[in-house]
Amino acid sequence: MTLCTKVQNNPQIETVARLAKIIWTEHFNEMIGPEAVAYMIETFQSKPAIIKQIKEQGYTYYLIQPGQKAIGYAGICLNKEKDELFVSKLYLLSSQRGKGYGKQVMQFLENMARKHQVSKISLTVYHKNTTAIQAYKKMGFRHTGSIKRDIGKNIIIHDYTMEKQILSEESIK
């Protein structure tokens, strides 16, 4: 059974949006504040926002589902011109963190990067999300900079950029 299931229909998109609301609220309310989190969920992780990202912006979403029930999700964008697979989202329910699922999802994404012959995986992570930053470092990502973005409603988000070089299948052999 595959851990990552590609999101391809409305019920799956609704599951991602439902998970986003739970995960973002439990994880980011304290870091960013409830009003900013509610705005970000509506703007970036509501059903209409997810549909737009898939249909118009080239994103692919995956449900993280080790059994019958989805426990998280990932959103990625393959960019051949930048020679990268960008991980836009990788979120797990708090009860499922620390069980190795993030590492398994990242292995799945590394294999995908190799299959599409891109040399790196990149991501952004909120600068105060120290647990995620440490997890990414442990998985071989390195800090490459930081960006501040105005996402609307006078909300400035400060993210770190991170990346991991991916060895080609030939280099591994």
Contact 73, 62 (CB under 8 A): yes
Residue at token pair 């800090």: 143
Q: In terms of Cα–Cα distance, which of 145, 168, 173 is closest to 158?
A: 145
pTM: 0.93
- Residue 167 is predicted with a pLDDT of 79
- DSSP lists the bridge partners of residue 145 as 161
Q: Is the dihedral of CA 151, 121, 70, 60 positive or negative?
A: positive
Q: In terms of Cα–Cα distance, which of 90, 119, 87, 113 is closest to 102?
A: 90
Round to whole Å and give the CA distance between 132 and 87: 13
Tell me which fold the domain 4-172 belongs to. Answer: Aminopeptidase (3.40.630)
In the chain (173 residues long), the average pLDDT of successive 10-residue segments reads 91 98 95 95 97 97 96 97 96 95 96 96 97 96 97 94 85 52
Round to whole Å and give the CA distance between 121 and 83: 9
Q: Where are the domains of the chain?
A: 4-172
